[in-house]
Amino acid sequence: MRKRNACTICAVRQKALCRGLPEDQQGRLNRTAYHRHYDAGRFISGADQRQDWFATVLSGVIKLTKSLPDGRQQIVGLLFPADFLGRPFRGRSPFTAEAATAVELCCLDRCHFEDLLQKTPGLSQLFLERTLDEVDAAREWMFLLGRKTAEEKVASLILLVARRLRRAGADGGAERPAVHWDFPLSRTEMAEYLGLRIETVSRQIRALRSAGAIEVAEGRAIIVRDLAALERMAQKECE
């Protein structure tokens, strides 16, 4: 479950929060950091439950969910490689984190990180900028949930995942989204993120397929056949 690793060979070091630290601090952080692995579907951290560590996602996708006693559940955020997991300055997060795919985390001690956050303006600022981006992303998604049709929702989600996976990819380069990859979410999870039912998601995927925008292949693979068409169907809106 745990092993140490060097920041210098970290796959996400160019993009993760850690780059806000000066080198000497990075070294100190490294000495206390450790890795964790979760299989797909595993519970990571809980709503209203004390968490004494934070983490950077090294690989995989994490879903943040909120659910009601009556069974209704909504995914309220996805974390991709280089994203940060945790809620500083408050013991517990109001949401549950679960591994959507197999996940590798680089974990940091809560106190140590909060301390660093207060003492390192560069880190603090980087964290703030990221958090502001998260607010924007959440609000964009609010638009999707409130105003888009089922077809637009599904198209938007595929585009969002394509872009995020592309960005998370090792190649620092192109802004153009990936066109062929394994979709990290099940139909159920797609529905939970889009505010739809699983059957509706299935039907809309079929519609996108018939329209020639995408193709679904072996396993959970999705191939973007016609990016322009997909963007048109998403109302040029996503992320």
Q: For residues 100 and 178, which CB has a smaller minimum distance to a copy of itself in the complex?
A: 100
Q: Under the criterion CB under 7 A, does residue 46 sit at the interface with DNA?
A: no
Task: Report the nearest approach of a copy of itself to the CB of residue 33 (Å).
Answer: 22
**CB-based contacts of 131: which residues, under 8 Å, 6+ apart?**
none
Q: Which of residues 158-187 bind a copy of itself (CB under 8 A)?
A: none
Of 163, 166, 187, 232, which one interacts with DNA (CB under 7 A)?
Answer: 187
- CA dihedral (111, 113, 116, 117) in degrees, to 10, reads -110
Q: For residues 21 and 191, which CB has a smaller minimum distance to DNA in the complex?
A: 191
| Pattern 63-92, a copy of itself, x by CB under 8 A | -x-x-x-x-xxx-xx---------xxxx--
Q: Which of residues 66-105 bind DNA (CB under 7 A)?
A: none
**CB-based contacts of 27: which residues, under 8 Å, 6+ apart?**
7
Residue 196 CA to residue 60 CA, distance in Å, equals: 24
Q: Under the criterion CB under 7 A, does residue 199 sit at the interface with DNA?
A: yes
Residue 107 CA to residue 33 CA, distance in Å, equals: 5
Pair 41, 98: CB distance under 8 Å = yes
Question: Where does residue 235 fall: left (phi above 0), alpha (psi -120 to 50 degrees), or beta otherwise?
Answer: left
Of 39, 52, 143, 176, which one interacts with a copy of itself (CB under 8 A)?
Answer: 143
Q: Under the criterion CB under 7 A, does residue 39 sit at the interface with DNA?
A: no
The closest alpha carbon to 10, from 133, 104, 129, belongs to 104
| Contact residues: a copy of itself, CB under 8 A | 64, 66, 68, 70, 72-74, 76-77, 87-90, 93-95, 117-119, 121, 124-125, 127-129, 131-132, 134-136, 138-143, 145-147, 194-195, 235, 237
